[in-house]
Amino acid sequence: MESNAARRLLIVASLGMAGALAGCANPSADEALVAQTALIGMPKETLLSCAGVPERQAAVDNREFFTYRSSRLVTYPSPPPLGYYGGWGWPHYGYGYGYGYEVNSFDCEATFSLRNGVVERVVYGGASGGSARLGQCYAIVQNCMALIPQRSIKPNP
């Protein structure tokens, strides 16, 4: 009996963890990764029409490099302090609670390599890392991904 109860508890805990991990997924980051292969072969004219004019560009032989940047700041109130502070006298006058804001910066730099007027490679970089950066990269490629025909998901055999 105890074995069945322990097994059920383990299954419930496993399902709970799977649900928690799924809640942490970043669909924008996933789409940015897909874009690195989906945009290969896109003509230069189409890239310029969906991504806009690049922030920087360079040309070497028959290759062109278009670099786009996207950044945003996110602020939200920080939790209130645990204590109450204040008092009269130098350097503090009065009483009160202290509140502040936490600021997060997300940025992405996407460089498109084109050969003979066609996208050959897409590389992401930036100061922020992980899915936060990739999520911000999606802001650059989002309009271009809308031009890619729908991908069909094929079940595994």
**Which pLDDT value is given to residue 5?**
64
% of the chain beyond a pLDDT of 90: 43
Inside any domain, residue 87: no
Number of domains in the chain: 1
Q: Which residue segment(s) compose the domain that 43 sits in?
A: 26-79+98-147
Q: What is the pLDDT of residues 84-126, one digit of tens each?
A: 455 555 555 555 555 677 777 788 999 999 999 999 999 998 7
Q: Which two tokens stand for residue 34?
A: 């897909």
Inside any domain, residue 30: yes
In which residue ranges of the chain is pLDDT below 70?
A: 1-24, 78-99, 128-130, 150-157
pTM confidence score: 0.66
78 phi and psi angles, rounded to 5 deg: -80, 160
Residue identified by tokens 């460089």 is 111
**Which pLDDT value is given to residue 26?**
82
Nearest to 72 by CA among 140, 18, 1: 140
Inside any domain, residue 17: no
**Which pLDDT value is given to residue 21?**
43
Nearest to 138 by CA among 36, 14, 3: 36
